[in-house]
Structure 1
Amino acid sequence: MRKLCTLAAISLCLSAPAHAEGDAVAGKAVFRKCAPCHSTEPVNRVGPTLAGVVGRPVASVADYSYSPAMKAFSEGGKVWNEAVLAEYLQSPKAMVPGTRMTFAGLKKIEDIANLIAYLKAPAGQ
């Protein structure tokens, strides 16, 4: 039930007008938690590049070796849209059991919305 309530709040946050879109400038600060493993440049690190991740098919960076769990999760043509990203960022291991990503997740809905806003256009921030 808690997960359902949290997902509903995230969905509401991402779909409501104005601030709900997230603040990309604040999202850049949140991205510091991701930067040890990910880049917003077209360069893979420990994790795949997040350049263009919003709207990209899951597990589709050609020169990155995804875990079997992430490959299985991508089946059926899943795309990293805002709703999928919001759920994943809250708890990667809960959404994709067996993922190699060790990050525990973001607990604040506002941080998730801000990070997604930043990922949509990191070069402009």
Structure 2
Amino acid sequence: MKPLLLALPAIGALTFAASGMAAPAEQPGEKIYKARCAACHSVAKGDGPGGMAPNLAGVVGRKAGSSEFKSFSPALKKSGLRWDRKNLDAYLKSPTKTVPGTRMMVSLPDDKQRADVIAFLASQK
């Protein structure tokens, strides 16, 4: 199912191209999200808990480990974090330092990229 989700942006671009309309511009964080996060995380509303990582639609403001996703690490569930911009920034910079025992190993060490991804995630309600 993941390959289909990853193919949808290309299908959308073809639809816009065929109609003569320009495709909507990507937010800076969306491009980074697609390159670094989308292989594991979805932001599609209604995508449910499937996949190898939690759906990130509406993640900003949510309590860590509280979505329908069933495979959160015990460390993340017990972290007590709420995903505000500050906590997301720290976690994305160094997941294993922010929540020792987390299963997420991918980090975004670049400050601007993290800020852009967090802004993109905040727009995905």
TM-score by length of 1: 0.71
Structure 1 residue matching 2:27: 3-state secondary structure: helix
* Higher gyration radius (CA): 2
SS at match of 2:64: coil
Q: Give the superposition deviation at 1:47.
A: 0.7
Residue segments in structure 2 that go unaligned for 5+ positions in a row: 1-25
Q: Distance in 2 between matches of 1:63 and 1:88?
A: 18
Q: CA deviation at 1:64?
A: 2.4
- Cα distance between partner residues in 2 of 1:26 and 1:63: 27
Query: Contact 2:75–2:99 (CA<8 Å) still a contact in 1?
Result: yes
Partner of 1:102: 105
Q: CA deviation at 1:92?
A: 0.5
Equivalent residue of 1:27, what SS?
A: helix
Q: CA offset at residue 99 of structure 1?
A: 0.9
1:93 match: 96
Equivalent pairs, count: 96
C-alpha displacement of 1:79: 1.0
SS for the counterpart of 2:39 is coil
State which of 99, 113, 117 in structure 1 corresponds to 2:119: 117
RMSD: 1.6
Amino acid at match of 1:100: R
Which ranges of 4 or more aligned residues in structure 1 deviate by more than 3 Å? none
Q: Percent identity?
A: 39
Give the gaps of 5 or more residues in structure 1. Answer: 1-23
Counterpart CA distance in 2 for 1:89 and 1:54 is 13
